[in-house]
Amino acid sequence: MFYLRELQKSDLCLINKWRNNPELIKLLGAPFRYVNLTVDEQWFEAYMSNRGNSIRCTIVEKNSGEIIGLVSLLSIDYINRSAEFHIMIGEYEKRRKGAGTFAVNTMLQHAFNNMNLQRVELLVLENNLAAQHLYEKVGFVREGIKRKVIFKNNEYMDMYLYSILKDEYKYKMFGGGGEVKYLPDYCICTEISNMVKKHIMETCDSAFMYPICIRSDFNQLLEKIDNYAYFIIAYNYEVLGYVAMYANDLSTKEAYISLIVVRKKYQNKHVGKTLLQKCFEFARYHSFEKVKLEVRKDNKKAIKFYENNGFSMLEEASNESFYMICDLDWKSNRL
Measure the CA–CA gap between 112 and 181, rounded to whole angstroms. 15
User: Could you tell me if 277 and 134 lie in one domain?
Assistant: no
Beta strands (DSSP E) in the chain are 2-6, 55-61, 67-77, 82-89, 119-125, 141-152, 155-165, 187-189, 230-235, 239-246, 254-262, 290-296, 311-316, 321-327
- pTM surpassing 0.75? no
User: Could you tell me if 160 and 222 lie in one domain?
Assistant: no
- Tens-of-pLDDT digits for all 335 residues of the chain? 788 999 999 999 999 999 999 988 888 888 888 999 999 999 999 999 988 899 999 999 887 889 999 999 999 999 999 999 999 998 777 777 788 888 998 999 899 988 999 999 999 999 888 888 889 888 899 999 999 999 988 889 999 999 999 988 865 554 444 333 333 456 677 766 777 888 899 999 999 988 999 999 999 999 999 899 999 988 766 789 999 999 988 888 999 999 999 999 888 888 999 899 889 988 988 889 999 999 999 999 999 999 999 999 999 999 999 999 999 874 444 43
CA 121 to chain centre: 19
Into how many domains does the chain fold? 2
User: Could you tell me if 144 and 191 lie in one domain?
Assistant: no
Q: Which of 61, 63, 83 is nearest to 73 (CA)?
A: 83
Determine which helix (DSSP H) or strand (DSSP E) holds 167, and give its type and residue range: helix 166-174
- pLDDT at position 32 is 87
- We report the CATH number of the domain holding residue 65 as 3.40.630.30
User: Could you tell me if 254 and 162 lie in one domain?
Assistant: no
**Per-residue DSSP letter, 114:** I
Beta strands (DSSP E) in 17-133 are 55-61, 67-77, 82-89, 119-125
In a domain? residue 182: no
User: Could you tell me if 159 and 290 lie in one domain?
Assistant: no
In a domain? residue 180: no
Domain termination residue (choose one: 112, 144, 174): 174
Domain termination residue (choose one: 139, 174, 209): 174
In a domain? residue 11: yes
In a domain? residue 55: yes
User: Could you tell me if 148 and 11 lie in one domain?
Assistant: yes
In a domain? residue 120: yes
In a domain? residue 309: yes
Determine which helix (DSSP H) or strand (DSSP E) holds 219, and give its type and residue range: helix 218-228
Measure the CA–CA gap between 306 and 328, rounded to whole angstroms. 13
User: Could you tell me if 254 and 135 lie in one domain?
Assistant: no
In a domain? residue 23: yes
Domain that holds residue 315: 187-334
User: Could you tell me if 69 and 102 lie in one domain?
Assistant: yes
User: Could you tell me if 312 and 248 lie in one domain?
Assistant: yes
What pLDDT, in 10s, does the model give residues 99-120? 888 899 899 989 998 899 999 9
